[in-house]
Amino acid sequence: MTQNISDNKYNLLSTRAGFNLALGHFKTALSFSSDVEEGYNLADVLTEAIEEGGISPQQLRPVLNILLVDKFSYQFKSENLRDTVDSVDKVVEAVSQWTALDVVMAFYNSSGDLTVINPADETHWAPILPLKRDELMVCFVKSRKENDQKTEIAACSDLFSLLYGKKVKVKKAFVDPDVKPEERAEMKAPEPEKEAPAEASAPAAAETELPPAVGINRSNASAKISVQVTNELFHNGNVEAWKKIIASYRAKHPTLDVNIWYDGEKINDINTLFKWGKVKHGTPIVFNVVGDNIKDVSKLKKYFFEGASPRFEVFLRGAVNSVLDLF
């Protein structure tokens, strides 16, 4: 029987637009494939690509399937969460030690939005916590040892146990003695160098404001990205850290600028985030980047997350008007 035209799976390729869409997606997936082969975590790569505008959210699911399932044969397990998850500290701590495994997680919220997570990176978790009961979580695990499905399946089970707050003993098969956790961390965007914290709980504000950025093409913008405050309060030390981060970003990318929103309002004077005195622990601050040839958005997000945490003081080194070399 002749196949119905409407059932032809190649219909997408019958138009130039459809063919170009499929070809572009295929090329993108291939580029991510080489990243995985080089040892990068696919969640890190995809998160950066989303934030830089190199891939659309609609491409995430097909890329995960074609690379992690079809090409690289990751073991996977999906589960509707049995409990609400408020903290993932145990997950981050444990997976950071699993140097013999590559782990990617995919989270679908109640609206069906997909977030791809490197479970060893706390910045990936911050925008989606708390996880609600019955929301869907999928874990993908690949051992660096060939044909080690038993270990991969065990790691998937342990991940869900950790999500539910249970204690899980680190299995010998999960750890490569020749690879240290900090070496794995180097496969991600570099973190700022950490120094011994100052004795004062919060340094005095410098009360300087960033000069306005001029000549920026503000019609071109990245997606808006949420950064959760993890310090007990977003105080003047956190504000100064963010100002240092923005100054460093502008110095590296003079054709780009950073916009900030809080509680739906665009912030023109970042000092007001402290002066209002109501940006508390767990509160999100939103930013995006505008200009031509947008770059380093993922790295900017990581620095902002650190600057909104108790570790903000690492950005306050140097003279008041000095520019940090972060980017």
- Select from 130, 181, 120, 122 the least CA-distant residue to 302: 122
Average pLDDT on 8-18 reads 65
What pLDDT band is residue 151 in, cutting at 50, 70 and 90?
very high
Q: What is the pTM of this model?
A: 0.60
**Structure tokens of 145?**
């040892």
> At the topology level of CATH, where does 191-327 sit?
Histidine-containing Protein; Chain: A; (3.30.1340)
Q: Calculate what percentage of the chain has a pLDDT beyond 90.
A: 38
Residue 274 clears pLDDT 90, i.e. is over it: no
d(CA 251, CA 319): 16
> Where is pLDDT greater, at 4 or 158?
158
Task: Calculate mean pLDDT across residues 19-37.
Answer: 72
CATH 3.30.1340.10-classified regions of the chain: 191-327
What are 215-268's pLDDT values in tens digits?
Answer: 787 778 888 888 888 888 888 889 999 999 999 999 999 999 999 988 878 888
Please report the pLDDT score of residue 158 as a whole number.
96
| Nearest residue to 298 (alpha-carbon basis) of 220, 197, 189 | 189
**Confidence label for 283 from pLDDT (cuts 50, 70 and 90):** confident
The end-to-end CA distance of the chain, in Å, is 61
Residue 5 pLDDT:
54
- Least confident interval from 75-84, 194-203, 300-309: 194-203
> What DSSP designation does 133 have?
T
